[in-house]
Amino acid sequence: MASFGTLPAAPLQSVLQAQAAKPLVEQIADSQKRLKGAFGDATLDPTEACLAQPVDQTRYAGKCRHCSQALAPAVPPPPAPIHKLASTLESKREAKLLFDGIKANGVGGQPANLLDTKGNMFGVLICVDNTGQTHVLKAFSGGYAGTQLYNVAGWCDPVPCANQAHHDHLHQAYDAAEQALNAFDRQIQADMATVRQKQAEVDRIGDAQQAAAAAALRPAVQPAGMPAARWQAIQATQQATQATRNQERQTALAAAQMELATAEQTFSQHHLMTSLAASAHLANLQQTRDQASAAVLADNADSRSITPFQGASRTFRNACYAETPTGVFDPNAARDFALHGKTGWCAAPKLLAEAKRLGYTPVSMTEFWMGRAAGFAEGQMISSCAHCQSFVGFALCGLEQQQRTLAQSAALNPPAPAANQPPPAGGVQPPPAGAAQPPPAGGGH
């Protein structure tokens, strides 16, 4: 997962706020620039200060399995086509606004400091709808900060399963198997701790006995001037006291040794190396957990679908792409990507799935990291990981053509007003007859 720098300074206004302050014709013109920048239209003036011009062309890209299969009959087959979505200065600045907002307010009522324990990938996707309005979608990877918070109002939901009830049942079975395995492991650890505690007690009493025996061997010296009778009486008293103490220590040692033997016997009933029954039980628990995990991952691969911008939906199992070192499609590696627990849970698949559901056309995206992680810094922009690269090419299939079609549509190219008919006050040009009415300004998701 390569990184490409840190987020820039946040703008004074978000994209939606800036758009809301403009007449509709200017909003549509800005949307056209975003679309043309996304597919690289030559008519877009490169000298113009356009924040929607791509600055990182290949950060979110992947090879398309559908296109690869369409080219497969050729001998030798050409390289699989790469579909991509660029990051722009506009999307980067929007990402910085999101970063600042999370720092201040957290996510879904959960504070930002939870990220200090487990971090998340976050992302923004700038889109244009069929009326020329711009929208900004936002998403986070997995569950927020390692919690079970997956669905938050205003954020993109996880890619849905075809049968969510069945998927939830599989997850519950996995959770139960994991809890049973963890409970057995905790019992083993508790038994081991008891054995260590009893062994320490035996060692302490044994050390005390050895110290007393060593002291008894040292000859006592009669103080000068003390009468012999008194000295003998003192010696007799000390010997009697020492004998009593030795007896008490011997009794305590015997009791501690019995407790140690009991603890070791209890431990042996659970410990893998000393109990065949415990070993078999542990193996059964692990097998149950592994089977439940495999069922969840298989359901992730087979019941969640990716809908490209052109063509039919495919499950993750049939959409993921991987290659051999020689550039040939590798079905085994593609299957492994589909079955991996990370595949489909990043911010990017949530963003693209939501854009497709809403009928939006993506034009730019930026993902960044927040919170604790090995190798990442706060606010570090991140490229697609290997798991996302395996299917993002298919997810983006047809996007460039959709961007071109929308940029040339009648809704984004309203006719100029007649010479004797000035535009309405404020310069707002009504959409052509039959065109869908745009939503209220600033109404992005």
The whole-number pLDDT of residue 275 equals: 57
The whole-number pLDDT of residue 313 equals: 94
The per-residue pLDDT of the chain, averaged, comes to: 83
Full DSSP string of 383-440? ---HHHHHHHHHHTTTHHHHHHHHHTSGGGSPPPPPTTSPPPGGGPPPPPTTPPPPPP
d(CA 293, CA 296): 5
pLDDT digits (tens, 9 = 90+) for 326-344: 888 999 999 999 988 788 8
pLDDT band for position 419 (cuts 50, 70, 90): low
Task: With beta carbons less than 8 A apart as the criterion, state whether 386 and 334 touch.
Answer: no
The whole-number pLDDT of residue 423 equals: 53
> Among 92-106, 218-232, 268-282, which range has the highest average pLDDT?
92-106
pLDDT at 47 over 90: no
pLDDT at 348 over 70: yes
d(CA 114, CA 106): 9
Mean pLDDT value across residues 312-323: 94
Scanning 271-385, the segments in alpha helix (DSSP H) are 276-303, 316-319, 331-339, 347-358
pLDDT at 54 over 70: yes
pLDDT at 418 over 70: no
- Largest pairwise CA distance in the chain: 139
d(CA 117, CA 98): 20
The four Cα atoms 232, 235, 236, 242 give a dihedral, to 10 degrees, of: 180
pLDDT at 94 over 90: yes
Mean pLDDT value across residues 53-61: 79
Q: Report the candidate in 78, 52, 75 with the shortest Cα–Cα distance to residue 64.
A: 78
pLDDT at 148 over 60: yes
The whole-number pLDDT of residue 97 equals: 96
pLDDT at 272 over 50: no
Mean pLDDT value across residues 289-316: 92
Task: With beta carbons less than 8 A apart as the criterion, state whether 344 and 300 touch.
Answer: yes
pLDDT band for position 208 (cuts 50, 70, 90): confident
The whole-number pLDDT of residue 79 equals: 84
pLDDT at 242 over 90: no
The whole-number pLDDT of residue 413 equals: 86
Q: Report the candidate in 284, 295, 341, 302 with the shortest Cα–Cα distance to residue 174.
A: 295
Mean pLDDT value across residues 181-205: 79
pLDDT at 41 over 90: no
Residue 404 tokens read as: 């071109």
The whole-number pLDDT of residue 155 equals: 97
Residues 6+ apart with CB under 8 A from 110: 144, 145, 147, 149
- Find tokens 């009991």 and name the residue: 262
> Among 261-270, 318-327, 375-384, which range has the highest average pLDDT?
318-327
pLDDT band for position 117 (cuts 50, 70, 90): confident
Strand, coil or helix: what is 89?
A: helix
pLDDT at 438 over 60: no
